[in-house]
Structure 1
């Protein structure tokens, strides 16, 4: 009899524990939702939209990490006055250490060096933080979570990649600093990405955007210092930089898709569009615009691949072409509208880039560059496999579970 009472009492205790766990989970979920909702409203209210004019510069496009960083390191080593670097990711590996050592040596020669990395993406070790400081490198991490909206601010990342050397040479695009970007990660090699090198008058806009982000993160305003803005020549390639945060990228993509008359080509590692942008794509197909989508076969993050399937099925039913890149990992961010313009930059075609991240895209209007980008894309399509509706509808209960989970948290993938 007593053992039965003890068993009953124990069971009651377990039920009570489960009850309080459920209450705690619900309370925490509501608290996070409130934090995110109010934090986002506050962010949107504070956005100061930055616009840059149309410029004429010279552009070179890199699609291979080793080639890019051979050129990049050469230019950094030749810097004479100042080096400004912003990356989303700087890892703690041998390639990153090589990069940091170059910055340290330049600072030791008297060159001004500023390095800005994202609070989440920049995993620079304490050892190297100390070495950077001792050498005179100004090192700052951006977008650290802040009260009172810790959850929301923890989700807003600076995903831009900008380098400006002596105010005369600029780089931006999809590459970061880590061994995978130079094909030293077995799972993700070779790494396919697009990065732009810039000379000419457009570099001043990259410089200004870096210094705006530096001002926000370091609380130091260098924007009025003409030392960082030398006189620059005009180039041949018409382009415009588009920085974004909050909902500005969604607005830009909406307008770009709306002008398409014949064809849209999208290359992205993550295809998780907002409802508004997805409707625009469907409308474009309905008015006779062909849509070709290039995404990776291999995923670098959990659930991002499954999160895209709901959208891909609807596009395939509408007649769009979907291709999965199979010669390594595809990380490029590109949008081509007819032969009118090409968009290369840092933004993925997903909700995180459209609503949360700080991004930077470059709209290019030069026909020769557009043809070059399309040639690159056609080669990448040859290294891909076309996806059919039957492929995505094939019975797979584990994938279905992952899809449901991905849909629930698609905003944060």
Structure 2
């Protein structure tokens, strides 16, 4: 690699790695180990798994005579890559008291040192291109885990009856900006997918054409005030607004409000990474499942957009908003955060779409073990778009496809409505 390219890649690597460790600085030692449910992972595991990724897919493939830090880590910190060997059950990650947190940080330092040596070395052109390709996947993989770190820490801490704060947050007096309206978007034969400039995951390709009828998309996200009207109208008790699976989920878990909402002295409060606070009616509603988003849309006489409608309407907007770099780690009222005709197009909350997570026509997953990264999850999941307050802006692009099962709601997920043109 040329000197400048080497320096840029090493700087990118160090920046991402440093941010992961910055995110865990507010934690107590005990916080590193707990796992509140199967969907979450202990912070210690996230720190080790992201390190394992570089060791397994880069150092052991590209670095000559590399000696692994600990042979047991291949089993403990492999997440789901069946083709590279067995792995520890996901639901039991919180039972791994050894290695210690200190040893995990030693592991990170060991791998970082060898990664620096590798990135500063000279490689044949064909190996250099492949190294850079896999490194970029690794960096964006770690940024995904940085978001998971925040969402998992929040869920872990929320199990404490005293609802402790992860990090104190300054109160921000941000006004709501105007009333929502529905913006007309012209349809037709349009292109969807990544344009080929910059990084993307394999599930964002290829760029392809789809037909869209004209439609309308809300200028604003659904707010807590909006959603309270649904709750007060007993929306959680009216099966006519719910998909069958959604209604079964509501009944099974006795949902009555979004995750982290609760009443104290007859007033709604919400648990945040900054601790408990009164519910702000102007903030976007957050931590709702696809089922709740869909039910709200039906109650409101609207619908959720498809992921193609979302991308077509918002892909040309400037990427700015409340991302992880702002260190708010909570959605904010829209204020003046407007990109084109849409407020809060990016950041704050991931926006549920009505689209199932499936491959694009002609899609080809990564070759080898990394082909397991996205493709094998294309079943029984729904697509979200737009990024959140826990997403790094350098990780996001408008073609980014997030995906979760329809009942999941521990992520920073919210709602933007759509409607047909009549």
More helix by share: 1
Rg larger in 1 or in 2? Answer: 1
* Structure 1 and Structure 2 fold alike (TM over 0.5): no
Quickly name the TM-score band, shorter chain normalised.
Answer: under 0.3
TM-score by length of 1: 0.27
More strand by share: 1
